[in-house]
Amino acid sequence: MSKIRVLVTTASGVIAATATLLGALRENPQIAEAVDGAVDKLKKSMNSENPKLRFEAKLHAIDVAADAVEETFPQAVEPNGWRRQAQALRMRGELAWNANIGKARRKAMKALNTETAEVLAQVNERLAALQTTPAEINGD
């Protein structure tokens, strides 16, 4: 839990919310391991000036959230969409990073980081909803 506390105090709102929401899904050992890895990656990215590292950490958090939701709430349909969005953003990120230099690269990565944060915010909203109404998702 101390990893999440450090992250919450140092990270942006979306990243902190993601770490907190993912932390609540740590009951399954495989999910706990993936969550710890995502939290570590997010923590490192928040201490970095590298926009690509921050971008990749957000994408990793989306992937981990998709895996956790798929495992915890098998009826949820969102994980596949989240993965498709993350994959599309990842491909665009590689293109932006490799096709640009200097100011053009920073501008492209800033736009992609903003878009990725928006997707992560949507994932957070759904994670919060799933955790407050699990009976509804499981058909109970």
Per the domain annotation, does 54 fall within a domain? yes
Residues 62-120 have pLDDT tens digits of 988 888 888 888 888 999 999 999 999 999 999 999 999 999 999 999 899 889 989 98
Q: How many domains does the chain have?
A: 1
53 pLDDT tier (thresholds 50, 70, 90) = confident
What mean pLDDT is predicted for residues 38-53? Answer: 74
How far apart (Å, rounded) are the C-alpha atoms in residues 99 and 125?
Answer: 33
Per the domain annotation, does 103 fall within a domain? yes
75 within 8 A of 137, measured Cβ to Cβ: yes
Which structural domain, as residue segments, surrounds residue 112? 2-134
Per the domain annotation, does 139 fall within a domain? no
For residue 131, pLDDT over 70 is answered with yes
Per the domain annotation, does 33 fall within a domain? yes
Per the domain annotation, does 140 fall within a domain? no
Q: Which of 48, 116, 130 is nearest to 88 (CA)?
A: 116
Residue 116 pLDDT: 92
Considering the entire predicted model, what is its pTM?
A: 0.73
Residue 1's SS3 state is coil
